């Protein structure tokens, strides 16, 4: 199992949007999905999850609906809105640019300077 990595400040919203974009999911499911898609490297603090979910819902990026979980339990399911999908695209592109820039910067050798 991969050792846990720290979540960078400000990336929680992006991770939640990504998790929700993969299919309708309830709050606990978001935690599990982030863990799953990051290969267990990213673990979200449960206390931080709900404020983030409500903030995204307040901004109209996700919307929620009550439904039934796999084991037939009543749970609130989140789904990405069109606005959320657009934002996710923008954030993802922005993150990729940053990651690429960081990777390039960190791969630099003394000869390249």
Residue 100 interacting with other proteins (CB under 8 A): no
d(CA 89, CA 75): 28
Q: For residues 60 and 80, what is the distance between their CA atoms, to the nearest angstrom? A: 9
Residue written as tokens 């923008």?
A: 90
Binding mask 69-98 vs other proteins (x if CB under 8 A, - otherwise)? x-x-xxxx----xxx---x---x--xx-xx
| Per-residue contact string for residues 31-50; x = within reach of other proteins by CB under 8 A | -x-------------xx--x
Q: Which of 1, 2, 3, 9 binds other proteins (CB under 8 A)?
A: 9
CB 108 within 8 Å of CB 100: no
CA distances from 93 to 65, 77, 96, 112 (A): 29, 26, 5, 27
Residue ranges binding other proteins (CB under 8 A) = 8-11, 13-14, 26-28, 32, 46-47, 50-52, 54-55, 57-61, 66, 69, 71, 73-76, 81-83, 87, 91, 94-95, 97-99
């Amino acid at each position: 199992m991969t050792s846990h990595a720290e979540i960078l400040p400000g990336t929680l919203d992006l991770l939640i949007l990504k998790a929700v974009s993969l299919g309708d999911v309830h709050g606990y499911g978001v935690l599990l999905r982030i863990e799953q898609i990051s290969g267990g490297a990213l673990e979200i603090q449960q206390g931080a999850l709900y404020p983030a979910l409500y903030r995204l819902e307040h901004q109209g990026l996700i919307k929620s609906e009550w439904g039934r979980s796999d084991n037939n339990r009543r749970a609130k399911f989140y789904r990405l809105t069109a606005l959320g999908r657009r934002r996710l695209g923008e954030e993802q592109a922005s993150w990729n640019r940053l990651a690429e820039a960081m990777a390039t910067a960190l791969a630099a050798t003394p000869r390249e300077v």
